[in-house]
Every structure is written in C-alpha cells, then in structure tokens.
Amino acid sequence: MMIHFVLLISRQGKVRLTKWYSTYSKKERSKVLRELSGVILTRGPRLCNFVEWRGLKVVYKRYASLYFCMCIDPDGNELEILEIIHHYVEVLDRYFGSVCELDLIYNFHKAYYILDEILISGELQESSKRTVVRSVAAQDSLVEAAKEETGSTISNIIAHAAK
C-alpha cells in the first residue's frame, strides 16, 4: 500500500476531505486528524514538505489556504508523492476551472470522484491528466443527461447564451 490516507485540511484546521485507504477506526481517524493538523499547520515555511509521524511519513503541500496531505510508508519516495498531490490539484484545476477552496467545500463529493479516478486502494491508478478528466467527464455527462431531462428551460437558455 503506497498511500494510507489522504487529507485536505484548511489553514484553520478545518477538514475539507478525508480518504482512508488503510483501515482506521473512527476514533483513530479523529486522533490522526487532530495530531497531524497540529503538526503540519504549525510548521514554518521553507521547511521540508515531509513529516515523520508514528513510523510513517506524511507528505504535505500547501496550495493557497489548503493543505493536501498524504501518508505513506517510511520507504516511499516523498518527491513522487508531492507530485501525485500536484497531479491531483492540476486535475482539480482543470475540472473546476481555476479551482479554489470554495469549490472543494461545496463540491467535496466531486473532489472524491476525481480522487477515485487518480488513486485506487492507495496506489496511483492513472497518471495521465487527460484520461482522468475524461473519465470524470464521462460520468458527469450521464448526470448532465439526467438533469437535462428535468432541467428548467431557463437553464438551457443561459447555457445557450454562454456558448
């Protein structure tokens, strides 16, 4: 298992997304969140983007006010994980169109769908951004189709106007 869990934490310590690939009980999860946000949010700039934690390593990167953290085994390649994080952020950016924290707050389920196309059971599943975005778009198109049937006419008008 390459990645044990993925966390998105805001600078205020608010949880934006959690995905657990290894098994953690509810109690352990909140403990992990508490401990790690304590460690990571207090780290100064310019230090390593890695933290050793309970014999594992947590790789984190800050994007604006949001920290993306991934926990890996001690023998993992930290730089690679940093790039996996960045890969995820780039895909998010493509999907939402200059993604901001608010996008993720209100559309966390979409952030999950995208993550599910990038990582699966803790391993990198797809490293091509285009493939990821396409497969998420394919799922969305079905959703769109379903919406379209019931959607209001005004939305169609606006959609046309936007074209």
Partner 1 sequence: MDAKSYAICFKPSSSALKRSNTTRNWYRVAKLEQLKTIGRELTKGSQGGFYQSKEFLDLVKSIGEARSKAEEDRIVLSEIETLKRRISEPDIPKRKMKEYIIRLVYVEMLGHDASFGYIHAVKMIHDDSLLVKRTGYLAVTLFLNEDHDLIILIVNTIQKDLKSDNYLVVCAALNAVCKLINEETIPAVLPQIVELLAHPKEAVRKKAIMALHRFYQKSPSSVSHLVSNFRKRLCDNDPGVMGATLCPLFDLITNDVNSYKDLVISFVSILKQVAERRLPKAYDYHQMPAPFIQIKLLKILALLGSSDKQASENMYTVVGDIFRKCDSSSNIGNAVLYECICCVSSIYPNPKLLESAADAISRFLKSDSHNLKYMGIDALGRLIKISPEIAEQHQLAVIDCLEDPDDTLKRKTFELLYKMTKSTNVEVIVDRMIDYMNSINDNHYKTEIASRCVELAEQFAPSNQWFIQTMNKVFEHAGDLVNIKVAHNLMRLIAEGFGEDDDTADSQLRSSAVESYLHILGEPKLPSVFLQVICWVLGEYGTADGKYSASYITGKLCDVAEAYSNDETVKAYAVTALMKIYAFEIAAGRKVDMLPECHSLMEEFLASHSTDLQQRAYELQAVIGLDAHAVESILPSDASCEDIEVDKALSFLNDYIQEAIEKGAQPYIPESERTGMLNISNFRNQDHHEASSHGLRFEAYELPKQTVQARIPPASLASTELVPVPEPMYPRESYQTTTVPSVSSDAASTELKLRLDGVQKRWGRQTHFPSTSTSNSTSLKTVNGITQVDGSNTANSRTRETYDSRKQVEISPEKQKLAASLFGGPSKTEKKSATGHKSSKPSSHMVKSHAPKSSMEVASEKTSVQQPPDLLDFGEPTVKSTAPSLDPFKDLEGLLEPTTQVSSAVNHSSTAAVTKSPDIMGLYTETTAGAHHKDSDILSGLSNPPMTNMVGGTTTMQVAQSSKGPNLKDSLEKDALVRQMGVTPSSQNPNLFKDILG
| Region 29-58 residues binding partner 1, contact defined as CB under 8 A | 29-30, 33, 42, 44-55
Number of shown-chain residues binding partner 1 (CB under 8 A): 94
Q: Residue 70 half-sphere exposure, CB side, CA atoms within 13 Å?
A: 26
* CB of 68 vs partner 1, minimal distance in Å: 9
Q: Residue 71 half-sphere exposure, CB side, CA atoms within 13 Å?
A: 24
Q: Which helix (H) or strand (E) holds 25?
A: none
| Region 75-104 residues binding partner 1, contact defined as CB under 8 A | 77-80, 82-84, 86-87, 89-90, 92-94, 96-102, 104
Among 36, 66, 70, 114, binds partner 1 (CB under 8 A): 66
Pick the closest to residue 25 from 39, 5, 42, 40 (CA basis). 5
Residue 70 touches partner 1, criterion: CB under 8 A: no
Residue 163 touches partner 1, criterion: CB under 8 A: yes
CA distance 129 to 118: 9
